[in-house]
Amino acid sequence: MGSQGNTNGRSPRCIALIGPNGSGKTTLFEAILARTGVTGHEGSEIRKTIGDHSPEAQAHGMSVELNAASAEYLGDTFTLLDCPGSVEFMHDGMAALAGCDAAVVVCEADEKKLFALQTVMKSLEATGIPHFLFINKIDKAGHGLTGVLKMMQSASRIPLLLRQIPIWEDNAVSGFVDLALERAYVYREHALSETIEIPAGLAQFESEQRFTMLEKLADYDDELMEQLLSDIAPGRDKVFGDLVAEFKRGQICPVFFGSAEHGNGLSRLLKALRHEAPFVEETAKRLGLGSAKSAAYIMKTIHTSHAGKLSLVRVLAGQFADGASVYGLAGEERVSGVFQVTGMDVKKRGPASAGETAALGKLESMPTGTTLTAEKNGAISIRTVQPPKPVYGFAIGVSERKDEIKLTAALTKLIDEDPSLSLVHDREVSQIILWGQGEMHLRVTLERLLRRFGIKAQTSKRQIPYKETIRKSIEIRGRHKKQSGGHGQFGDVVVEISPQPRGDGFAFSEVVTGGAVPRNYFPAVEAGVRDYLGAGPLGFPVVDVAVVLKDGSYHTVDSSEMAFRTAGRIAMSEGMPKCQPVLLEPISHVKISVPSEATPKVNGMISSRRGQILGFDARPGWDGWDTIEAHIPEADIQDLIIELRSATAGAGSFEAKFDHLVELTGKLAEQIAAEHAASKAA
């Protein structure tokens, strides 16, 4: 991460740049690196030399992973984390938040992105991380900034505190008035702003907005409230003291604006970070680690071709050096190298001290989200953001069996890097399912598999775990007789096959009298019955069936366990087709969360997917959102997330879990059985 030592002796800070997709986070990230001399090309078009450096990000024109770099500003060092904005890749940044001192939420004055902004703000509020709001592309906001702020306030539980007002010239923002300093500045393209007199036409508006700012601060400061009520102008130190204290306590969200593309508003934002963002000691206290002698939080895992596994950590206390033993809940590891990471660039460095961000090598058993300590028997853990549940998946495999182990090893590394991915061996349908956060998420994963590991995976649609059962009972004989020199084979059983209530599963019992079938063969008969249950007349696993062994016969010489097992299987294969077999379809309980304006569309989606709406209500703690609950066939959920996000500008989400099985008849059932038979024959 660039130079880590502050020239003024203060510890480095770690700041996350986070916000809705397309809001300009990476452009702001690169602009700050240019302004502070890290990349040295300010004044030309902002190029993504560190952020979005991966081929996947460039191919899709969006951030698909967290990127980090350090910069120095007026003697203070900041590690900046450029976090993906797309909901499909957002967890990569969310997982790192616990190690940050503060966040800058980058957004636009775009009502269409309001709900995506609300999702980001909720995450920050839940973790208690102090955060600024930076309204990017300010020229597109129009002249009604106070109206924009009112709109955005609905996305934030914490009061938004306007810190600047814009100076407009020819329908463009040419500068700003700082409400705390009561000074005006005019922008200079990719350069520092210049101080000017507050324009006469803005004096009254500036006075009103400054008073509004002070009123909000006074909500948390009785002394300031008394001064305002007494018409006493508070001193500048008093105002800045309240701004800093209330920001660190998470009571206010200061709002700045600018244009990252033109380099406008950068210095004011950097000054706010320098003067107001907490230091690592305060962050450690917020995380409950105030008394820890040594602590580091793993924000991200990276597997490199040369250095192996690297754990990007924020050191919260103490020091971590090459060769040192570290401890986590998973056990003990030894650090094999300490590195600086800037985009794709990895370089060895010295020990990492409190406040610094570095990569520790070869911590093989320590996943993202682990809290490390150098104290033996002192394992600690902080509350972190858990990976979201998967919403989209497909079957994955390779064309040659020899590559299966290679595929699993590669996917294990990618899942280590991105815990919002998961791999499930679904034995019911004999498929390996790769799960993730959406179609693009899994597409990028496949691209990484090919680029980094040389594996071209084959994918197919997930098979649905249909079952089958029966509607009527039957009594039938199963007889196995074979003579082929020496001892023959003989087993003879009479069984009753009956349907069970839904969900009761399989039951086997016997009522044999008079020793028609010796007791020692009962388990073999049951085993033969169970052999059949893997695929019934329709080709699917059989459930909710009771089988009773009622009668039979045996031969003192030719009967054996294998013969009676075969007889049991024959009885089932001949009897089940006569019991009116019926297909059973898995139904999921689905909980969908969307902005209220999208609720009618979602209701239509549910109906079009053969779903049944169970009810809906306001989403607790989310203004303007609904939660809809429904029963939907699992087969119709496979691409639900794609349609849901399309209808909600990416904000909608859902959770689903298996609920029950229902009978499925008619043409659809016939089609499913036919397709299943064809796939087995292929």
Q: From the CB of residue 481, how many other CB atoms can be counted at a distance below 10 Å? A: 14
- Tokens linked to 1: 């991460």
Are the C-beta atoms of 185 and 265 separated by less than 8 Å? no
Predicted local distance difference test score (pLDDT) of residue 681 = 79
Taking the C-alpha atoms of residue 149 and residue 131, their distance in angstroms, rounded to an integer, is 16
In the prediction, which pLDDT does 2 show?
Answer: 41
Return all residues near 379 (Cβ < 8 A) that are at least 6 apart.
327, 328, 329, 373
What pLDDT, on the 0 to 100 scale, is given for residue 171? 82
Query: Integer distance in angstroms from the first to the last C-alpha of the chain?
Result: 53
What pLDDT shows up at residue 485?
Answer: 65
Q: For residue 621, is it left (φ>0), alpha (ψ between -120 and 50) or beta? A: left
Select from 54, 26, 88, 58 the least CA-distant residue to 418: 88
Q: Which domains does the chain have, with CATH numbers?
A: 13-278 (3.40.50.300), 285-372 (2.40.30.10), 392-460 (3.30.70.870), 468-579 (3.30.230.10), 585-681 (3.30.70.240)
Q: What SS3 state is found at 580?
A: coil
- β-pair type (160-162, 253-257): parallel
Q: Whose CA is closest to 450, among 407, 387, 509?
A: 407
How many C-beta atoms surround the C-beta of residue 245 within 10 A? 15
pLDDT at 421: 98
Minimal CA–CA distance to 105: which of 75, 125, 77?
Answer: 125
Q: Is the pTM of this model over 0.85?
A: yes
Q: What is the mean pLDDT of each run of 10 residues along the chain (682 residues)?
A: 60 97 95 91 59 88 94 96 96 95 96 93 94 93 83 95 93 93 92 92 94 96 95 94 97 96 94 97 95 96 92 97 94 96 90 98 96 88 90 93 90 97 94 97 97 94 96 96 81 97 96 92 97 96 97 91 96 97 98 96 97 96 95 96 94 96 95 90 74
- Do residues 238 and 224 touch, judged by C-beta distance below 8 A? yes
